[in-house]
Chains A and B, each alone.
Chain A
Amino acid sequence: MSVSITKKEAYIALIGNPNVGKTTLFNALTGLQQKTGNFAGVTVEKKFGKFTVEDKGSKYHCQILDLPGTYSLSASAPDEMIAIDSLMGRWQEGRPDLILAIVDASNLERNLYLISQLLECHLPLILALNMYDLAQKKGIEIHLETLAQTLHCPVVPVVANKRKGLEKLRNTIVQTLQSPSSPPYSIRFPENIENALSELDEYLQQNLNCKLSRAEIVRLLIDPDSYLKQRLEQQLDEDFQKFWENLLPKYQIQPEELLTLEPELRYQWAQNLISQCTQIHPQTHPPLSEKVDKILTHPFWGLGVFLIVMGLVFQSIFQWATPLMDWLDAQISLLSSWISTLLPSGPLQSLIVDGVIAGIGSVIVFLPQIVILFMFISILEDCGYMARAAFLMDKLMSWAGISGHSFVPMLSSFACAVPGIMATRTIENRRDRFTTILIAPLMSCSARLPVYVIMIATFIPPIYLWNGWISLQSLTLFAMYLLGICVALPVAWVLKKTLLKGKTPPFIMEMPSYKIPDYRTVGMQMYKSAKSFLLRAGSIILAMSVLIWACTYFPRSSQIDQLYHQKQIQLKQKFHTQRKQLLKHHFPHLSLQQIQTNPTFTNLYQQLPQPLPPKNSTTYQTLLNQHGPTFSLAYEFKQLENKYNQKIKELENQKNAAHLKNSFLGRAGQFLAPAFQPLGWDWKITMATLASFPAREVIISTLGIIYQLGADVDEGSQNLRQAMQNDRYPNGKPVFSALVALSIMVFFALCCQCMATLAIITKETGSFYWAALAFVYMTTLAYLAALVVYQGGTLWGF
């Protein structure tokens, strides 16, 4: 006999206050079966998970939506509407089959506020009492059955971080899905308000052709600047406005009274419920949290600990990530050199090596920083320190019009804006988050450092000021770091007044109790951040690298190739004749072929030490005495070959420089050069700047190519420094000066030459618009600042 299993789909909404372990429960229920999207229009991450529950013959495939943590359903802004819209089925997923509400059992009263609102949603509800162990430790005894009976909904105690109570929760979910029933409302308003609510309800039913839930009607009536009302005003005609204006006076309701009444009634209900269902056994010793907080938010020690923690976070992404990044870099170069040997040189090889693999390299090189930063962030968040950090730094950040939550993202941006911008996910307020995203790239990241280093070391004189205490060079470097911060403040202020205008949101933040972070939550967070970066930002970065590669590679002029091919042939012929002359000089009777097949000679030739010992060295003398003229010949042949190889490499570099100059990018550089002339730049600097669009540090390798030194130069390269110092305009004026170097540095401090940053902005804001805005405003600022520096400096006579 077979038992038939009916499979059904179910859609569950998970909701709760912030810091009650909602994400931990979500992870515990769904494991890795998660996917993320965006709530349309509000750029808030929409997290879905899947799991199955089974009970005697029925199996449910549950899709669970992890709603952002909230204290209430009230909404006066679009992003606050997410919770109520999801519960009312205003998204494509439709209405949830049940609400899974998670509450902190050790802090029931405030958590019940939200529950009281959820009871008005006409949906089956399950109450998960999380941190049940903590509540017991605190001496709070909860009579589960009384609570369930009074609320008319199932109550399940769980300990999400220890994965306790999940089986019971799953069973309860099945039972509720099988026989759904929505619990009754918790509170009734005074008669006049109830009448107003039902009149509003009736009016909307007649004019809107759909029934709103009580939860929505209550929000509509009570919330100041209710977003629901703004939405309804678009759907309804002027009659609604008239109706609305008469509604409150008709029932003699004062708006202020209404505003305070709701919380007072709900808290009264919560207090009543708690007095019925719980018993508190007073504890003698104060909670650990308070002892810890005495130190961690102490004006002196607290700041000390804070500086150490933040120093650790910064150090880890600035320094400790470097070995991993270098290792990844080395693997990528290995891969590209291996591929180079497999493919014939030409457009295909260049596309794969310089376009695709270099692109993949520039994506994965960010991974160590991202994963390490998210490890710290999730540890700090999970243990409750993040709220303290925001508390300590709020005043400082408020000068830029943002809140303390922005501190860690901003700090991280000094190492790299990409993980910094990803870290803004911890900022709840949308306007604060976007402001932070837009100013984070202004912080001087580690990619700017090579540019600063080469410019400062080459062109800023090593002068010491104040009796040698401060060097002008380090002062310049410090000024560059300061520049970004100083520009960020007014930019944030302007953004807050214009594009991200709105009422200052309240900075009301719960200070959660400290707890040991859950390693599974931390691991999941690291995994998810890496995955979302690779999948979403990675593809944009890769596509852009290929595009930039094409701009530097095409059009491939065959004339240049031919020209240098001929030069190569000439060089080869010259090399050949020179060798013949040498041979004639030492062994007039032998041909080249004979000497090259002579085993004594070839042996000697191959075993010559590299680099060649100078002629006056003892090695040279001993070898000469040992082998006589054969050695002389081998030595001089080698000398010639080295010179030849050098020349060939120079030719190759010249060819690359010519190709680059001829490429779309090179042409653009020359075309745009007049626009950058007021900054003191010539076409070479302009072009190198354009080429550094993928990442700022690329300017150095591009300058290397332009100065015919090859692409493998770095900021320490003496050759490049000399080439830059010696470069002259046709009229003999040096191309570079301290002022030009300063103008370049200022430009790079403020510009947004980093496609990874632009990709991550696009991804995190959910729209290309913000990335374009960041690029345009930063480039404009950079141009203007460099202009002021150069023109001002010239006027002052530098």
Chain B
Amino acid sequence: MLHKLPFLTPPPNLSQSETFPLADSLSNQAVIVRRIQADSTEKNRLAKMGIFPGARLKIIQQTCGQILLQVYHSRLALGKSLAKQILVQNASSSYQGKNFMRLSELKIGQKAVISGYQSNRPNILQRLLEMGLIRNTEVEVIRRAPLGDPIEIALRGFHLSLRQFEAELIYVEPKETKSP
């Protein structure tokens, strides 16, 4: 039953592994956001900064009042009180050793299978899904434009070009490449 699959990537053992407040994390720890216990405006504000269920964060430094984070490419500081409302999970344990990454991080010629999405941009996500970028679809990065963006991928027998920023919304599990 397709529809019973959980929506977000790192997946199956959501309930088993432990979640803890972001405020309790350590410097240099990589975590995945699981739940945000804040009101909807606060949630929206966080989502705009890239903090939403499923997002990967890296803690750069814990100071007394603030916590310095790396959220994908950008860095930001968060107040401790807010950080207490964000429940996270250890990234390494939730990935269970599997090599998850974003579609945007694949190398040219690399093949991967789509495993999940980031859900903070539902409009864009819907367009991607409609074009066939659904879970368990095999994609291959064909090339990058000369200025690095956009990228061209092949899937389902046709080619698609999408911007780096859109490719970041898709989590993939790279396929083992056989050495020639």
Where the two chains meet, the residues of A that have a C-beta atom closer than 8 Å to any C-beta of B are 71-72, 74, 76, 106-107, 109-110, 113, 189-190, 223-225, 254-257, 259-265, 267-268, 293, 297, 299, 302-303, 387, 390-392, 394-396, 398, 404, 503, 506-511
Q: Nearest Cβ in chain B — how far from A508, in angstroms? A: 5
The reply to whether A509 and B161 form a contact with Cβ atoms under 8 Å apart is yes
The reply to whether B146 and A503 form a contact with Cβ atoms under 8 Å apart is no
Cα A223 to Cα B122 in complex, Å, equals 9
The reply to whether B130 and A507 form a contact with Cβ atoms under 8 Å apart is no
The reply to whether B163 and A113 form a contact with Cβ atoms under 8 Å apart is no
Q: Nearest Cβ in chain A — how far from B10, in angstroms? A: 15
Cα A225 to Cα B129 in complex, Å, equals 16
By beta carbon, the residue of chain A nearest B156 is: A109
Answer yes or no: B157 CB below 8 A from chain A CBs.
yes
Q: A110-B132, A225-B123, A263-B134 are in contact. Are A391 and B157 (CB under 8 A)?
A: no
Q: A303-B146, A507-B166, A508-B160 are in contact. Are A391 and B128 (CB under 8 A)?
A: no
Q: Nearest Cβ in chain B — how far from A291, in angstroms? A: 13
Of the A-B pairs whose beta carbons lie under 8 Å apart in the complex, a sample of 24, sorted by A's number, is A71-B127, A190-B3, A256-B8, A257-B7, A259-B119, A260-B129, A260-B134, A261-B2, A263-B134, A264-B129, A265-B2, A297-B152, A390-B161, A392-B145, A392-B146, A394-B145, A395-B148, A398-B163, A404-B150, A506-B123, A506-B127, A506-B166, A507-B150, A508-B128
The reply to whether B158 and A110 form a contact with Cβ atoms under 8 Å apart is yes
The reply to whether A110 and B150 form a contact with Cβ atoms under 8 Å apart is no
Q: A109-B157, A507-B150 are in contact. Are A263 and B130 (CB under 8 A)?
A: yes
Cα A507 to Cα B164 in complex, Å, equals 10
Contact with A along B1-43 (1 / 0, CB 8 A): 1110001100000000000000000000000000000000000
By beta carbon, the residue of chain A nearest B151 is: A391
Interface size of B in residues (CB-CB distance below 8 Å): 38
Answer yes or no: B143 CB below 8 A from chain A CBs.
yes
The reply to whether A398 and B149 form a contact with Cβ atoms under 8 Å apart is yes
Q: A109-B156, A297-B143, A511-B159 are in contact. Are A260 and B135 (CB under 8 A)?
A: yes
Cα A503 to Cα B48 in complex, Å, equals 12
The reply to whether A110 and B129 form a contact with Cβ atoms under 8 Å apart is no
Q: Nearest Cβ in chain A — how far from B106, in angstroms? A: 17
The reply to whether B3 and A257 form a contact with Cβ atoms under 8 Å apart is yes
Known: A190-B3, A396-B147, A404-B150. 17 other contacts (CB 8 A): A71-B130, A72-B127, A74-B126, A76-B123, A110-B131, A113-B132, A224-B122, A225-B122, A255-B122, A256-B122, A265-B3, A267-B134, A268-B2, A391-B152, A508-B128, A508-B131, A508-B160
Cα A261 to Cα B2 in complex, Å, equals 8
The reply to whether B149 and A259 form a contact with Cβ atoms under 8 Å apart is no
Answer yes or no: B117 CB below 8 A from chain A CBs.
yes
Q: A72-B130, A224-B123, A297-B152 are in contact. Are A302 and B146 (CB under 8 A)?
A: yes
The reply to whether A109 and B132 form a contact with Cβ atoms under 8 Å apart is yes
Q: A259-B125, A394-B163, A398-B149 are in contact. Are A264 and B158 (CB under 8 A)?
A: no
Q: A259-B125, A394-B145, A394-B149 are in contact. Are A507 and B134 (CB under 8 A)?
A: no
Contacts of B163 in A (CB 8 A): 394, 398, 506-507
The reply to whether A509 and B162 form a contact with Cβ atoms under 8 Å apart is yes
Partner among A110, A225, A264, A303 whose Cβ is within 8 Å of the Cβ of B2: A264
The winner among B2, B125, B126, B162 for most chain A CB atoms within 10 A is B126
Contacts of A395 in B (CB 8 A): 145, 147-150
Question: Which 8 A-B residue pairs are closest in the complex by CB-CB distance?
Answer: A395-B147, A224-B122, A511-B159, A263-B129, A72-B130, A506-B124, A256-B7, A506-B127
Q: A259-B129, A394-B145 are in contact. Are A510 and B2 (CB under 8 A)?
A: no
By beta carbon, the residue of chain B nearest A403 is: B163
Contacts of A259 in B (CB 8 A): 119, 122, 125-126, 129
By beta carbon, the residue of chain B nearest A396 is: B147
Cα A509 to Cα B128 in complex, Å, equals 10
Cα A71 to Cα B131 in complex, Å, equals 7
Contacts of A297 in B (CB 8 A): 143, 145, 152
